[in-house]
Structure 1
Amino acid sequence: MPRFLFCFSIVLALHFVAGWLLHDLLEEPGTALQSSAPMMVRLVSPEPAPAPVQPLASVMRRRVLPSKPAQSVKVQRPVSKPVLASKPRPTPAKPVAPVESAKAKAVAPAQPQAVAASPALSHSESSAAASAPAATAKPVVTEVFSREPSFLTSPKPPIYPAQARRRNQQGLVLVEVRLDEKGLLREIRLLRSSGVESLDRSAMDAVAAWRFRAETQNGQPVPSRVHIPIEFALSASR
């Protein structure tokens, strides 16, 4: 009895294994068919693709090849050759130089006439040069320093700035004035500041409007310079 059960279990196991193998065999052809279908599609798609791609590439190469020689042909080369030919064109102008030299030679004999006339010119130039030192020697005049300024009209006193007056600002401004022979103002310079900008500016503006008399030396007007102190004080008029 136990032997029978053992044999029966072996038979069942074999049947089970056989059935499982048959089941796998039946499923494999289906999967093979299903897999073969996409494989056929994959094989069909690459076959027509390489055929047209190669001629297209070759055609593109063939089309590019004729275009390259067209581009390689430089039109500028034939243009550059006539430019080289144009360079020797100015060479025929060289024989013109001897013509000009011949003209110069022909003109050369006329030069002695100008040389002959030059003594008169040199004489006039020498006389002008002799008179020039006399003319230039006149304006040599030294500048004179004046102790006090001389006025043609009474000078107008400078305006006391209102802001400086409110702040009780005072000070002394020293101005240097340089005049020419006619007494006209050539230069005005601030020698010493009062420490207040508004006072300095008022003094400079007042002096610039004054009319001076020319300084004289030996009865002759001469350029001069003078220092003018201007005091700003609440109790002073100028």
Structure 2
Amino acid sequence: MTIRSAQYTNVDTIELLVAYFRNPSLEIRNQLVEFNKGLVRQVAHRISRQCSEPYEDLEQIGYLGLIRAIERFNPHQGCAFSSFAIPYIRGEMLHYLRDKGSVMRIPRRWQELYNKGRKLRKQLTVNLGYPPSDKQLAIALGIDIKEWNECQLALQNRLPVSLDATVSQTVDCSITFGDTLPDHHYQAKQKFEEDRLQLQRAMSQLEEKTKAAIECVFLRELPRKEAAKQIGMSPMTVTRHLQKGIQQLSVLLEPQVA
């Protein structure tokens, strides 16, 4: 398929999605990624404003979600690709943030310094008549101000935080810590939908009669005699198509399962 180097259009994307659905290839997938990189940038910009993670890192992770969406999208379902892809892109970024936000091991030296610093702060407050500055505390502890600031930041950030605590909030969106945790019910539902789309894509590559036999017997659970009557063939022929279809589906689905 020849792609124009000029402005990409929605028609270009639809044509490529249909072509990829019929015959997946790395070349078409890369073109689809190029066409839809604006979706990744849009989500990355929004989430980067709500966390400390660099925009560039979020963008790279977002492309993984875009690729997953391309591989699972069925253009015949009547759903806009952007609506289908954004949850995948956003999900990859949030999972990345969740994984990076795992519990941090604090060096014992910093734990001891932090506890010593808290006691020393109280003593200096009494002696000076006012709370000491971080620089004064660092000097009293005999360490560099930079190390004292890092020590405080590490110990403060390991404290438990409510799942409802907002990471950051803008006019149109906010993310809580709970949003970054996996929803197992949603993941199971998403996995079921992905399996259904994969099976549907594989089924579309079967011969019409083989496809009809599998749909009647396995999906609609009709007796083989009834299936044969509806399709217009003998029960023995239905059995042959079922055997043929199962073999073909095992081959078509094997790369996706792997």
- Normalised by the length of structure 2, the TM-score is 0.17
Indicate the structure (1 or 2) with the bigger Cα radius of gyration: 1
Larger strand percent: 1
Q: Which has the higher contact order (CA 8 A, sep 6+)?
A: 1
- Normalised by the length of structure 1, the TM-score is 0.18
Larger helix percent: 2
